Amino acid sequence: MNKRRDGKMTVFLFELKTYRWSLLWWAVGIIALQFIMMIFYPSMAQDAETIDLIIKHYPEELLRAFGMSEQASLATVFGYYTFIFTFAQLLLSIQSAYYGFNFLSTEESNYTADFLYTKPLNRSRIIVEKQFAILCILVITAMVTALSGLSAIELFRDGRPYEAGNYWVLMGTIPVFQVFFFSIGMVVSACTKKLKSVIGFALGVAFFFYIINGMRGIIGGDLLGYLTPYYHFEVAYILEEGMIPWNRGMISIFVILLCHGMTYFYYPRKNLPTV
């Protein structure tokens, strides 16, 4: 016991322990989501194939007017998986944003900040350790997402082909996507006095970007797209081309760096609220 206390990573280990149940529930949610949605795939694919035949005869402008041009066919494995994965992303974004908003404000709302900051650790150090813990949790979630998605596809694809390489490229973007939402939450939790409704903020941020992306899908327009990480790492594009649209992806990375810079600058100088 004593030996572990002497070790340097106390905060890190403590945080990992705190988040394990939360991690479990999110993982269960994401696995369930992907499997349940994939169950519908075989029957859907048959319907979709006939619809595709009809749609082929429509002129492009008409489809655009009905907001259908960007919808990939639900008949192909990836077409349908794009649809599922957007939901998985929504879950991931809520999880990440929630961790982010909780990140530093939880110490204040639970009145543990006074305790934590009397420890012989400087604040940047605390942030780094806490961040690594969250990063571990997020990466584990990403891996769970990738593996469960893959097994769900394998189980229900009915022999329809798909490009495994592209799938892994897509999965590689998950951590960046997660960290984007986490960073936004973190910077807010570092800079505000007392954050009360953490869940409210997390849901608000996650759904905001999700809805913007949904609208972009229907009505088009790059301007909306640049605002939302869903478009920075556009699922349909990655699955089709097998590469990441870096010119858009950079926006996400820039936002992440900006949020981190602000947190590291501001938080060590912050006054703690008194109880």
Of 82-101, which residues contact other proteins (CB under 8 A)? 87, 90-91, 94
**DSSP-derived secondary structure letter, 267:** G
Q: Binding to other proteins by residue 224, rule CB under 8 A?
A: yes
Of 109-168, which residues contact other proteins (CB under 8 A)? 109
Kindly report the length of the chain: 275
Measured CA to CA in angstroms, residue 174 lies from 46, 66, 124, 143 at distances of 30, 30, 26, 9
Closer CB to other proteins, 16 or 224, in the complex: 224
Q: Which two tokens stand for residue 42?
A: 């075989």
Measured CA to CA in angstroms, residue 179 lies from 97, 98, 138, 186 at distances of 9, 11, 8, 10
Q: Binding to other proteins by residue 214, rule CB under 8 A?
A: yes
Residue 2: partners with Cβ closer than 8 Å, 6 or more residues away: none
Q: How far is the CB of 231 from other proteins (least distance, A)?
A: 14
Measured CA to CA in angstroms, residue 43 lies from 4, 21, 26, 146 at distances of 55, 35, 28, 23
Nearest Cα neighbor of 96 from 1, 205, 172, 196 is 205
Closer CB to other proteins, 67 or 261, in the complex: 67
Of 64-83, which residues contact other proteins (CB under 8 A)? 64-67, 74
The 3-state secondary structure of 191-204 reads: HCCCCCCHHHHHHH
Closer CB to other proteins, 214 or 245, in the complex: 214
Q: Binding to other proteins by residue 44, rule CB under 8 A?
A: yes
Of 45-64, which residues contact other proteins (CB under 8 A)? 47, 54, 59, 61-62, 64
Closer CB to other proteins, 13 or 199, in the complex: 199
Q: How far is the CB of 95 from other proteins (least distance, A)?
A: 9
**Contact string (CB under 8 A) for other proteins, positions 184-213, x = contact:** ------------xxxxx--xx--xx--xx-
Rounded Cα–Cα distance for residues 268 and 260 (Å): 13
Q: Contact residues for other proteins (CB under 8 A)?
A: 25, 29, 33, 37, 40, 43-44, 47, 54, 59, 61-62, 64-67, 74, 87, 90-91, 94, 109, 196-200, 203-204, 207-208, 211-212, 214-215, 218-221, 223-224
